Every structure is written in C-alpha cells, then in structure tokens.
Chains A and B, each alone.
Chain A
Amino acid sequence: MTVILGQTFTGISIGAVLLLIALGLSLTFGQMNVINMAHGEFIMAGAYTTYVLQKSITSAGLSLLVALPVAFLVAGALGALLEWLLIRRLYLRPLDTLLVTWGVSLMLQQLARDIFGAPNVQTRAPDLLTGNITLIGGDDPLTVANSRLFILGLAIAAVVALSLTLRMTSLGRRIRGVVQNRDLAEVSGISTERVDRTAFFIGSGLAGVAGVALTLVGPIGPTMGTNIIIDAFLVIVVGGIGQLKGTVIVAFVLGVLQSVLEYSTTVSVAKVLVLVGIVAFLQWRPQGLYTLRTRSLV
C-alpha cells in the first residue's frame, strides 16, 4: 500500500517537473505554434542565473527566492530577443522554426560551455528543501521530499498565474484574439507583433523559472536542456495544442505512468513503454487529448 501511495506521490512530483518545463511551451508552441527547440536552453539560462546569483547572495534560501523573478526576466529577455531576431520571420514555416531554433540551442549550449566551463556547476539548496516530511510513519514510512513539494507548489502557482493572465487581463484577451484569428485581431487595432513578442517573453520566462526549480533536483550544466526538451514537447502534443488543461492533465498522467512503470520494470523499459504508448495514443487521437475546435479542414 505504501508503495502504491509512494509511487503515486513520486509520479505527481515527476509530473510537476514536467508541467513546469512544458508550461512555457504551452504558450509558445500551443498558442503560437512555434516549435522552439531552444526552450531547453532557456531552462538552462534560468538554472545558471541561480548559480550566478549565489556568488553574491550567500543565503541559499534568499538566493533561490531572488532567482525566481530574475530568471524569469533573463530567460524572457532571451526569448523576446530570439523572437525579434529570427522567429518573427518564420511564423508561416513552423517546421523550419524547429530546425532554426535547434541551431540556436546548439549555439547557446556552446556559449554556456565557454562562459561557465563544460563541467556541471553546483548550487546550494536551502537546508529546508533538502529534507523531507513524513506522511505515514512506522516501519515503512511514506515520505515526500520538500524540494518536490516546492516544485509542485511552484508549478501550480505558475499555472494559475498563466491562466489568470490569459483569461482576465487585456493582454490575455489580445493573445487569445491573435491566436484565434490573426487577421481579424490586426484589423481590430491590435499590434500582433507586440502581442507575439510579449507572449514569447512570458513563455520563455516560465522556462527560466523552471530552470531555477530544476537546480533542486538535477544537474546544472550545458546539456541540461537537451535532456528534457523532447519530454516537454510530448506533454504538449499529447495534451493538445492550445489547451492549458490538457497540458496539466497529461503532465501528471505521464509522471504517474512513468513512476509506476519504473517501479515495476526498469527505467529504460518504462521510458520506451511511455514513448511507444504516446505514439499509439496519437494514432487514436492525433490532435491530442483536448482540441481547440476550429473551422479548419484538418
């Protein structure tokens, strides 16, 4: 029993990490249909931001709190720059964006290697976040890592903030307007260029926040982005483009699935099963779990 509960919690915590890294993509890929392979490197930028800040802020807890908004700005700025330099030329060619941003990601990785060195760097986590809390005591205790709880909280907060922004603010209305009908939005007096850039800023900024969170559980190095980017895209694809709730549900489902399969088989087998499962699922529902109803023929 403890095992099942434990694995469910583990799955939810894996899901929270997935959700956090995919959330920014749900805006840039899901809403704007831009496949940004450099998203992983924006996550990396967020993680390195934490590392740099810790050089001047000695308290691990404080540096983490400061890093969250700073990383959002750093990664967001990188994203807006990328949008302005390259992506705005490519809105009509989504597949080319994939390859162009792959090139950008290669260059950003090498840049990180040149600035910070090829080896991983270390950050300190506040002591509070390296411990765990016991949910069920006894001989076979069920514990949950504080770092995972923190990431879960952060992911939920980010989802809430993003969906409120999209629903309640005028910026959100403009973004949705542009997504649904770009031409109509333009004739209604919305500067679609500015909306695109702002949306890209927010989406990339969320990657930066994810990067800060990842310093608690994973390595901080030049290649950290490549390891997770495909997983993040799969979450969006399975969840359905343009739907925040699809992303949220799928992130947690995939997390739990991965952890349960890992427990009963091996990590490699679990990974292969999850990937093959995703491919099979998309045969059944090629547009993902939730689809935005449109009048398009496809």
Chain B
Amino acid sequence: MVAGAAALAAAVALSACGAKTDAGGSSDKAAKADTSGDTVKVGLLNSLSGTMAISEVTVRDSLKLAIDEINAKGGVLGKKIKPISEDGASDWPTFAEKASKLIREDRVVATFGCWTSASRKAVKPVFEKNKSLLFYPVQYEGLEESPYIFYTGATTNQQIVPALDYLKSQGKKSIYLVGSDYVFPRTANKIIKAYAAANGMKVLGEDYAPLGSTEFSTIANKVKASKADAVFNTLNGDSNVAFFKEYKSAGLTATSMPVVSVSIAEEEVKSIGSQYLAGQLTAWNYYQTTAGAANTEFVKAYKAKYGQDKPTSDPMEAAYTSVYLWKAMVEKAKSFDPEKVKAASDGITFDAPEGKVTVDGASQHIYKTARIGKIGTDGLIEQVWDSGKAIKPDPYLKGYSWASGLS
C-alpha cells in the first residue's frame, strides 16, 4: 500500500509539468515525416480482419495497385513509394492506435484508408494533432471538413441528393427509409427527410437495424404495408443479404417498389446474388462498366493483378484515384510537407476511371459525377442516369435552401 501511495504521489508531482489546455501557442509538436533517402513511406490503414475486412481489403488492394503503377513510372519527385500496411481490425480505438504508429513510428508522408465513419472519427484527432494527411476514399455523411483529411469519396450532395433527384424525376412520390443503426444512415436520412419535405415527397417510415442484424422479416412487412413508391436503403454489410432475401420473399420486386441502395457496389452484389438484386437501383459515382479509356485500363490492371473474377467498385476507384491526386499535389508543391501539399491542392485534376475529377482546395473534397445504376442479372451494374457534369462538393449542403436547418 505504501508503495502505491508513493507511486501516486510521484505521479501527481510529475503531472505539474504539462501544458495546460488554455496555455495556447504551444510549440510545434508534430512528428516530422521522413523524406530523406530515395524512398518515402506512405501508410495504408484498412481493416484486414474483423467484420469490415470484407470491404476494406479491396480498398487496400487498389491502393497498392496505384502505388505499384506510380513506382513503375519512377515514383513521386524521384522517390519510390514504400507502402506500410496496418490493420485497423474493424475496431475504432485500434484505428487510432495504428494511425499514431504510422505517423510517429514509421514517419509516413501521408496515409490512405479508413472506411466507416466511426473509424474516420477515431483517427481524425490523431491526424490533426500530428499535422499529417489522411486520404479517405469512401462516400460518407458529410458535415465534416478536417484540415488534414482529403475526402475522395462522395459527400451527400454528390450521391444522396442526386439519387433523390432521380427518384423525383421518375415520379416517385413516397419513400420508405431502411438503414443500419450508425452515423451514416441516420445523417443521410435526416437529409432525405429535409429534401422530401421541400419537394413534396412523403416519407412513410424509417427503420434502423443494428449493424450485423440478419432478421428482416418485420421490416419487410412494414415496408410492404406502407405501399411506398420506392425504398431508400442505407443498410451496410451482412444486413443487406438478409434484407433483400426477405424483400423478395415478401413478393416485392424492382418494378413494384424499387430499392435505391447507397452501400451496395459490385463486390456486395456478388455476395448477395443477382437472383435477389436484379433490377434494383444503386447510387454511386463509378461502376465497373463506366465508359472511358481510363476505366478500361484500371479494370484490366486490377484484374490482371488480383484475378479475373474480382470486380472493381466505387470505393476502390476512389482509393486508386486518391493516390494519384496526392502524387499530383506533391509534384505541384515540389514537397512532401503536408502544409505545402494542402496549399497546392486546389484545382488539381486527374483523369480518373470515373472521369475527370478536380480537387476543391477549400473543402478538400473532389468534384464528382453522380451516377444511378441498375443491377443486371450478370452481377454488374449498368448506368441508367448521370448528372452530366461533375458536381461541386458541398459537405455542409450550404447551397441547398431546404437543408438550412440540418446542422
């Protein structure tokens, strides 16, 4: 007991020397990235185990593809890129731990990865604290502009709002909302309800299932009883499989009540089965079938590296693009320094597989074209509509009057 008390006293004595929160103007504590030598390290932070591994491994693979391509053409600023891959293990505190390891131990110049909003929220303070850059490749719920994160997936006005515009143009007057119980679906549905209120659409119901939930018979009953014109689906992961099996069993079809999904890409179609999905709609910025030479090459290179049966999807494409965008920023800045890279980011363009994308320096998001697709019996998604031009990112939906009360 005495030793314990002594130890505590020692700790209290030591505690006297830290900086107070209100001290302000503390010295630059950021870990310096290592740019000496002829290689630079970048971090790849994805879940390679746990529930999210299903999706995140494919992102890691396409990040590696981009890095290999860049290295084959001479690297960045004459330096080869050496990827350090870390496993976030689908666990948010682990993400924070590994982010900190990449920055402080490996001294990477930039990090690519994260999938779920929860993992991004967990690492955000780590990147801000250490003044290091994260490139986040997944569509998300918006309402965020971290000075040290580049968002290369869609924000809400590049995916959800166009999907609603499409439903409206198809004459759908009422919708039912089904989602997993976490940040993205809840925020997305808040936006959807505001949109619906302003555009004369009715939201007939809103249901959330815990992540990983696989019992959807009641929700299918509720959806059926609502007789809505369409369903807006923000379910994630395993739940989609159970939901669509139940949906079909309840006698609901893509023609009687189409489902628009924002988390089902080619990889997920493969695991659910086109038997249950054929004819249903998805909203993304990229499909494996998207036209253009850049995409043909990307798909070819990906399949050559990882197998002919492997599909490419939107988050994979956004991840691939993010590496090239970073390269272009570094080359424009002629430096790996995060502050200089950020300063150089505005207006950077890249002929991505999804078409030409441009970085918006102010929000650190990118201009993207919205695309609605229809799932075919072959498991691929065919585009049925696009926004025509790349949409300017607007994470806080400031340009939409109906969204003024949202945040």
Q: Does A touch B (CB under 8 Å) in the complex?
A: yes
A124-B225 Cα distance, complex, nearest whole Å: 27
- A208-249 vs B, Cβ < 8 Å mask (1 yes, 0 no): 000000001111110110011000000000000000000000
A259-B221 Cα distance, complex, nearest whole Å: 10
Enumerate A124-149 residues with CB–CB distance to B below 8 Å: 124-125, 130-132, 140, 143, 145-148
Nearest Cβ on chain B to A33's Cβ, whole angstroms: 29
A217-B242 Cα distance, complex, nearest whole Å: 6
Contacting chain B: which of A66-74, A179-187, A265-273, A279-287?
A265-273
With known contacts A6-B221, A145-B217, A119–B270 Cβ distance under 8 A: yes
**B248 at interface (Cβ–Cβ under 8 A)?**
yes
Kindly list chain B residues whose C-beta atoms are within 8 Å of the C-beta of A119. 54, 267, 270-271
Contacting chain B: which of A7-15, A91-99, A196-204, A289-297?
A7-15
**B346 at interface (Cβ–Cβ under 8 A)?**
no
Kindly list chain B residues whose C-beta atoms are within 8 Å of the C-beta of A107. none
Question: Secondary structure of the B side of the interface?
Answer: helix
**A164 at interface (Cβ–Cβ under 8 A)?**
no
A7-B246 Cα distance, complex, nearest whole Å: 14
Is the pair B251, A143 in contact by a Cβ cutoff of 8 Å? yes
With known contacts A10-B221, A120-B54, A227-B238, A130–B275 Cβ distance under 8 A: yes
Is the pair A267, B207 in contact by a Cβ cutoff of 8 Å? yes
Is the pair A218, B249 in contact by a Cβ cutoff of 8 Å? no
A120-B51 Cα distance, complex, nearest whole Å: 11
With known contacts A10-B218, A227-B214, A266–B271 Cβ distance under 8 A: no
Is the pair A262, B270 in contact by a Cβ cutoff of 8 Å? no
With known contacts A130-B249, A267-B208, A10–B217 Cβ distance under 8 A: yes
A143-B57 Cα distance, complex, nearest whole Å: 40
**B333 at interface (Cβ–Cβ under 8 A)?**
no
Kindly list chain A residues whose C-beta atoms are within 8 Å of the C-beta of B250. 132, 143, 145
**B210 at interface (Cβ–Cβ under 8 A)?**
yes
With known contacts A130-B248, A145-B246, A140–B213 Cβ distance under 8 A: no
**A191 at interface (Cβ–Cβ under 8 A)?**
no
| Most chain B C-beta atoms within 10 Å of own C-beta, residue among A13, A130, A258 | A130
**A63 at interface (Cβ–Cβ under 8 A)?**
no
**B34 at interface (Cβ–Cβ under 8 A)?**
no
Kindly list chain A residues whose C-beta atoms are within 8 Å of the C-beta of B242. 217-219
Enumerate A110-169 residues with CB–CB distance to B below 8 Å: 113, 118-125, 130-132, 140, 143, 145-148
**B209 at interface (Cβ–Cβ under 8 A)?**
yes
Enumerate B186-234 residues with CB–CB distance to A below 8 Å: 207-210, 212-215, 217-219, 221-222, 225
**B167 at interface (Cβ–Cβ under 8 A)?**
no
With known contacts A219-B241, A262-B218, A132–B271 Cβ distance under 8 A: no
Kindly list chain A residues whose C-beta atoms are within 8 Å of the C-beta of B81. none
**Chain B, Cβ-Cβ closest to A215:** B245
Is the pair A122, B225 in contact by a Cβ cutoff of 8 Å? no
Kindly list chain A residues whose C-beta atoms are within 8 Å of the C-beta of B222. 263
Kindly list chain B residues whose C-beta atoms are within 8 Å of the C-beta of A259. 217-218
- Interface size bucket, A side? 35 or more
**B348 at interface (Cβ–Cβ under 8 A)?**
no
Kindly list chain B residues whose C-beta atoms are within 8 Å of the C-beta of A81. none
Kindly list chain A residues whose C-beta atoms are within 8 Å of the C-beta of B270. 119, 122
Kindly list chain A residues whose C-beta atoms are within 8 Å of the C-beta of B221. 6-7, 10, 263
Kindly list chain B residues whose C-beta atoms are within 8 Å of the C-beta of A219. 214, 238, 241-242, 271-272
A220-B245 Cα distance, complex, nearest whole Å: 12
Give the number of chain B interface residues (Cβ < 8 Å): 35
**Chain B, Cβ-Cβ closest to A226:** B212
Nearest Cβ on chain A to B261's Cβ, whole angstroms: 15
**A90 at interface (Cβ–Cβ under 8 A)?**
no
Nearest Cβ on chain B to A49's Cβ, whole angstroms: 17
Is the pair A118, B249 in contact by a Cβ cutoff of 8 Å? no
A228-B217 Cα distance, complex, nearest whole Å: 16
Nearest Cβ on chain A to B122's Cβ, whole angstroms: 21
With known contacts A221-B271, A267-B210, A147–B249 Cβ distance under 8 A: yes
Kindly list chain B residues whose C-beta atoms are within 8 Å of the C-beta of A146. 249
Kindly list chain B residues whose C-beta atoms are within 8 Å of the C-beta of A227. 212-214, 238
- B242-256 vs A, Cβ < 8 Å mask (1 yes, 0 no): 100110111100000
**B273 at interface (Cβ–Cβ under 8 A)?**
yes
Neighbour of A14 across the interface among B210, B217, B251, B275, CB < 8 A: B217
**B118 at interface (Cβ–Cβ under 8 A)?**
no
**Chain B, Cβ-Cβ closest to A3:** B225
Nearest Cβ on chain B to A21's Cβ, whole angstroms: 11
**B337 at interface (Cβ–Cβ under 8 A)?**
no
Enumerate B40-58 residues with CB–CB distance to A below 8 Å: 51, 53-54, 57
Other A-B contacts than A145-B217, A223-B212, A224-B238, 14 sampled, CB-CB below 8 A, are A7-B218, A119-B267, A120-B271, A122-B270, A125-B245, A130-B249, A132-B249, A148-B217, A218-B214, A227-B214, A259-B218, A262-B218, A262-B219, A267-B207
A-B contact pairs, 21 of them (CB 8 A): A6-B221, A6-B225, A13-B217, A118-B57, A119-B54, A119-B267, A120-B271, A122-B270, A123-B273, A130-B245, A130-B249, A223-B51, A223-B238, A224-B238, A227-B214, A227-B238, A259-B217, A259-B218, A266-B207, A267-B213, A268-B208
Q: Which residues of B contact A (CB under 8 A)?
A: 51, 53-54, 57, 181, 207-210, 212-215, 217-219, 221-222, 225, 238, 241-242, 245-246, 248-251, 267, 270-273, 275-276
Cβ-closest 10 pairs across A and B:
A145-B249, A219-B241, A122-B273, A120-B271, A262-B218, A218-B214, A219-B238, A267-B209, A10-B217, A119-B54
